[in-house]
Amino acid sequence: MTGIHKIRHVIIIMQENRSFDSYFGTYPGADGIPVSNGRPAVCVPNPRGGCQRPYHDTADVNGGGPHGLGNFVADLHGGRMDGFIRQRDAAGGRSQCRHIQDPTCRIGAKPDVMGYHTAAEIPNYWAYAKKFVLADHMFEPVKSWSLPARLYLLSGWSARCTDSSPMSCVNDSDGPYGVERFSRAVRQELATGTTSIDLAWTDITWLLHRQHVSWAYYIQNGAQPDCGNDSDITCAPVRQNDRTPGIWNPLPLFGDVHQDHQLGNVKGLNAYLSAAKSGTLPAVSWITPSQASSEHPPASVHQGQAYVTALINAAMKSPDWDSTAMFLTWDDWGGFYDSVVPPRADGNGYGFRVPAIIISPYARKGVVDHQILSSDAYLKFIEDDFLGGARLDPRTDGRPDPRPDVRENEPMLGSLIGDFDFSQRPRKPFLLPTNPPTDSREIPGYFTGRGPCDGCTRPPPA
């Protein structure tokens, strides 16, 4: 095997609701928060008076803000990038402080949509960025919330369909069928095993199946990590496992997955851990968290990092490590501030920036990739590696649908291949502790640097 074909296992880990600046806005060499004279040069209007500059937030639990299509437009504000606090306050008022632990109950506090974390709170993520590749222009593929973002991750499109024919589908960037109908259909599926929703357009598993390329979509048991209403910040939990279709498990609702008899490829997280340990990972894997591990406010940041670290450690300990590429990313901006105006890709995208890290024994070391990217680049990488460059293209994929364009061929979209050096010897695993030291008193393993470490573990040098 040569070049990209040295990669025989692609693993995509998608977390929830963080903008690039909220996690890497101060990362050295990245296109982050503008600074003048040692402090942030931007100050976003605060409806409660004055304005708020980005600030270092050491809290383990954040509130974030709403993140539907309308919220994107308001946050963007014609390129001014100054609507984040206004949208957060409006959503906080609607939440009516239903749970005392709800961060929106702290509406009078400093608006944490302007907060950013550093290596002090998320040391493992920064260590991965330093050891491998950080992409600082990874844009959400659609200017909307989690469901459309995950549909793009799997299919390069978000649509709604009137029947089971792919040609019945029409463009829908705000989430197919509307929130209420989608939620009712999922509840119906859970109760009866049938659903009124057919995501009839073509997703990447159709191409993988035709070329006999193995795949799996792994789901962590628990609660689903977002609300059925894209403009709500918090909501009552909805249970999630590999048998429950939903916002974060949409493949059971795709007609081509049923047609291919591949529903069994949607599996629980333990199946991933077992496959990694035994060296039987499929060619393509997607991994979805539960709410507790998702980093979706009000989920714990440190618990999400611990979960992701465990997934990466499992891959690095696997016999498959030497032929693996891992793509770690977040689905949408979650209402958090970002400083970069998204480029105009087509009528549907792009959305705001999200963090993205490329991890592999062939990944270049300590590189910040400034290319314009979106999750369409993951589809492109998979297609170039396993499918001979075939695309989700209605003219060639054998299952035509009326998608407006072929997102993998978007002229401004960069290529992830440049983040690898396939001439180098495979690098050794870079194993990290799941609970490293941190500066936040809210996080287990808190370590000030003075006195004993109180049971926490020091991370290995990057």
Could you state, in order of their start, the residue ranges of all structural domains in the chain?
3-21+122-419, 23-116
Contact (CB, 8 A) for 123 and 114: no
Query: What pLDDT does residue 372 have?
Result: 98
Spatial separation of the C-alpha atoms in residues 73 and 319, rounded to whole Å: 46
Give the pLDDT score at 195: 66
8 Å CB contact between 421 and 415: no
**pLDDT confidence of residue 125:** 98
Strands (E), 333-401: 356-359, 367-369, 373-374
The pTM score is: 0.91
Would you state the structure tokens that stand for residue 76, as one six-digit string?
A: 């963007």
* 187/239 Cα distance (integer angstroms): 11
Residues forming a β-bridge with 358: 133, 327
Quick one: CATH architecture of 3-21+122-419? 3-Layer(aba) Sandwich (3.40)
Tell me which residues of the chain have a pLDDT lower than 50.
94-107, 230, 444-462
Encoded amino acid at 231, one letter: S
Dihedral sign of CA atoms 13, 15, 21, 25 in order: negative
Burial 295-305 (b: 16+ CB within 10 A, else e): bbbbbbbbbbb
- The CA distance from 265 to 215, in Å, is 7
| Cα gap 194→186, rounded to integer Å | 9
Burial 434-461 (b: 16+ CB within 10 A, else e): bbbbbbbeebebbbeeeeeeeebeebee
